């Protein structure tokens, strides 16, 4: 088979440059990981499906989710979770008005702050509720005490969750069961040191040989999506500068990120190896992506993280109530087909429509080549946004061998496309700037110690040719970066 017809997409096992700040790995470690990548992907995928099955079984048996969001203050302590379970399992025994509960929380938060404690742990629980009842309705208090064992047993079976923590949990298990726990410890330590960032996880995996892909189902609509994001989540005045400008973390920044991918092959600091496989696929999951056994996705500059398997995504949500079955969702990777159950799933304030996905080395068979992307035009003025309810549509089954079935493409009126842009010619200077931005501090020091001849050899090995420059220019061009 000609190599022009088909190529395996993966980063070199001996990358010329490791990404700065993310963990470095030796050639031997990368090779060892590549040898185990298939088994790690299968184990991580199995972990995702176990969480999905666990969630549904528990919900069917108990009427609430086994997994509680670890960014929810109301679930921050076992006692608080017991109160939440009481409200679901025994609504007749829950007689705490919302305004009274809010006052109790405010008082507890003030006490925690005065004691130097984390006020996000100041949740009202069963203990405070019983104190409230004892002076008002001792009969109800007695009935609450009678179900204490039931509440304790239910709470003991629960587990915290978030979108990024589900990913960490399954990857950590997969690495450990394949004898690569030391590699994972270095990755996870870096991720936790950087605010449990999904992007930092992706950068670390890229350094270990994973392939990065930019995803966006319809790049020409970026400007419309950016305008909709502002309507869905208006700019908080606290985030404005003196010019009235600012940024909200949930915004996608779709045109900005798309243009960076187009011109620099980077997305919010993450280098992009492939910008065509998961671009402009509309509402049909790309066929070759369905063969990938495991992947790690991020949306909206990693505001949201979603792992997945064989063309499906599984999402864990850290801010939803345990009464919601959509605490964990399994759906086809099809962000535009929300009515048909595609994911990542949208809510009334969060509509995930572009980002980055990384896949294990050698796991994606690709048959295309990158070209310029039409990132669309900026949309000025207010726009109308249709409401999308949480959990709208029916998620796909997690059975990985079944083909993903989606609705036929809807008839969509698209804005007139602008005249084709001339492809940007990357200069040698731009190539150097990109290379320098990816070099670690140690690599930069090593470069600075090289002789001019060795520097030129190093540049040529990395595809940078300054042979047309004057000798003096060749020697000093890099001083501005030191």
SS3 track for 271-300: ECCEEEEEECCCCCCCHHHHHCCCEEEEEC
Strands 364-366 and 304-309, how do they pair?
Answer: unpaired
Q: Check: CB of residue 287 under 8 Å from CB of residue 335.
A: no
pTM of structure: 0.75
**Average pLDDT value for the chain:** 82
Q: Which residue has the higher pLDDT, 475 or 312?
A: 312
* Alpha carbons 21 and 18: distance in angstroms, whole number: 9
Pick the closest to residue 180 from 34, 50, 364 (CA basis): 34
* Alpha carbons 407 and 284: distance in angstroms, whole number: 8
Q: What is the pLDDT of residues 158-211, one digit of tens each?
A: 999 999 999 999 999 999 999 999 999 999 999 999 999 999 999 999 999 999
Q: Check: CB of residue 343 under 8 Å from CB of residue 349.
A: no
Q: Is the pLDDT of residue 2 over 70?
A: no
Residue 437's φ and ψ, nearest 5 degrees, are -65, -20
- pLDDT band with cut points at 50, 70 and 90 for residue 14: very low
Q: Is the pLDDT of residue 60 over 70?
A: yes
Q: Is the pLDDT of residue 123 over 80?
A: yes
Q: Which residue has the higher pLDDT, 377 or 396?
A: 377
Q: What is the pLDDT of residues 347-357, one digit of tens each?
A: 878 899 999 99
* Alpha carbons 468 and 18: distance in angstroms, whole number: 28
The whole-number pLDDT of residue 475 equals: 34
DSSP string for residues in 205-274 = HHHTTPEEEEEES-GGGHHHHHHHHHHHSPPPGGG--TTS----TT---HHHHHHHHHHHSEETTEE-SE
* Alpha carbons 426 and 436: distance in angstroms, whole number: 15
Pick the closest to residue 160 from 350, 317, 299 (CA basis): 317
Q: What is the pLDDT of residues 410-452, one digit of tens each?
A: 333 333 343 443 444 456 666 666 566 556 666 666 667 777 7
Neighbouring residues of 229: CB distance < 8 A, sequence distance ≥ 6: 248, 250, 251, 252, 351
Ordered by start, the domain boundaries in the chain are 7-50+162-366, 72-159, 428-481
- Counting residues of the chain whose pLDDT is more than 70, the rounded percentage is 78
Instruction: Kindly report the length of the chain.
Output: 482
Pick the closest to residue 303 from 234, 349, 255, 249 (CA basis): 249
Residue 3's φ and ψ, nearest 5 degrees, are -70, -15
Partner residues linked to 364 by β-bridges: 9
* Alpha carbons 243 and 100: distance in angstroms, whole number: 41
- pLDDT band with cut points at 50, 70 and 90 for residue 409: very low
Task: Average the pLDDT over 15-29 and give the result.
Answer: 74
Neighbouring residues of 470: CB distance < 8 A, sequence distance ≥ 6: none
């Amino acid at each position: 088979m000609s190599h022009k017809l088909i190529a395996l997409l993966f980063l070199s096992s001996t990358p010329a440059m490791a990404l700065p700040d993310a963990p470095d790995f030796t050639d031997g470690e990368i090779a060892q990981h590549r040898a185990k990548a298939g088994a790690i992907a299968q184990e991580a995928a199995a972990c995702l499906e176990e969480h999905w099955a666990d969630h549904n079984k528990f919900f069917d048996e108990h009427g609430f989710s086994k997994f509680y969001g670890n960014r929810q203050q109301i679930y921050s302590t076992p006692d608080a979770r017991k109160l939440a379970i009481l409200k679901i399992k025994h609504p007749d025994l829950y007689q705490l008005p919302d305004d009274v509960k809010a006052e109790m929380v405010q008082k507890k938060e003030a006490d925690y702050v005065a004691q130097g404690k984390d006020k996000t742990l100041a949740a009202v629980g069963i203990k405070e509720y019983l104190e409230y009842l004892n002076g008002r309705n001792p009969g109800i208090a007695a009935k609450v005490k009678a179900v204490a064992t039931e509440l304790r047993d239910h709470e003991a079976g629960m587990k915290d969750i978030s979108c990024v923590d589900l990913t960490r949990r399954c990857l950590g298990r997969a690495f450990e069961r394949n004898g690569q726990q030391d590699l994972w410890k270095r990755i996870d330590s870096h991720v936790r040191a950087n605010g449990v960032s999904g992007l930092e996880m992706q950068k670390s995996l890229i350094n270990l040989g994973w392939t990065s892909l930019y995803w966006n189902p319809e790049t020409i609509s970026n400007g419309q999506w950016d305008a909709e994001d502002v309507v869905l989540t208006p700019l908080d005045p606290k985030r404005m500068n003196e010019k009235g400008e600012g940024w909200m973390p949930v915004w996608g920044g779709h045109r900005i990120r798309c243009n960076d991918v187009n011109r620099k092959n980077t997305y919010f600091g993450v280098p992009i190896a492939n910008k065509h496989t998961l671009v402009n696929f509309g509402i049909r999951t790309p066929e070759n992506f369905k063969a990938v056994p495991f992947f790690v996705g991020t949306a909206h500059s990693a505001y949201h993280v979603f792992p997945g398997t064989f063309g499906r995504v599984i999402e864990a949500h850290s801010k939803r109530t345990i009464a919601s079955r959509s605490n964990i969702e399994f759906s086809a990777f099809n962000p535009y087909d929300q009515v048909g159950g595609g994911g990542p799933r949208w809510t009334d304030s969060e509509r995930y429509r572009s980002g980055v996905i990384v896949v294990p080395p050698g796991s994606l068979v690709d048959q295309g080549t990158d070209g310029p992307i039409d990132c669309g035009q900026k949309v000025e003025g207010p726009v109308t946004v249709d409401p999308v309810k949480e959990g709208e549509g029916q998620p796909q089954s997690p059975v990985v061998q079944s083909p993903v079935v989606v609705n036929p493409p809807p008839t969509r009126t698209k804005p007139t496309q602008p005249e084709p842009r001339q492809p940007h010619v990357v200069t040698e200077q731009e190539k150097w700037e990109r290379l320098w931005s990816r070099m670690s501090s140690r690599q930069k020091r090593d470069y600075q110690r090289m002789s001019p001849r060795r520097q030129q050899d190093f540049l040529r090995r990395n595809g940078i040719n300054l042979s047309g420059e004057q000798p003096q220019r060749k020697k000093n061009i890099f001083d501005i970066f030191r």
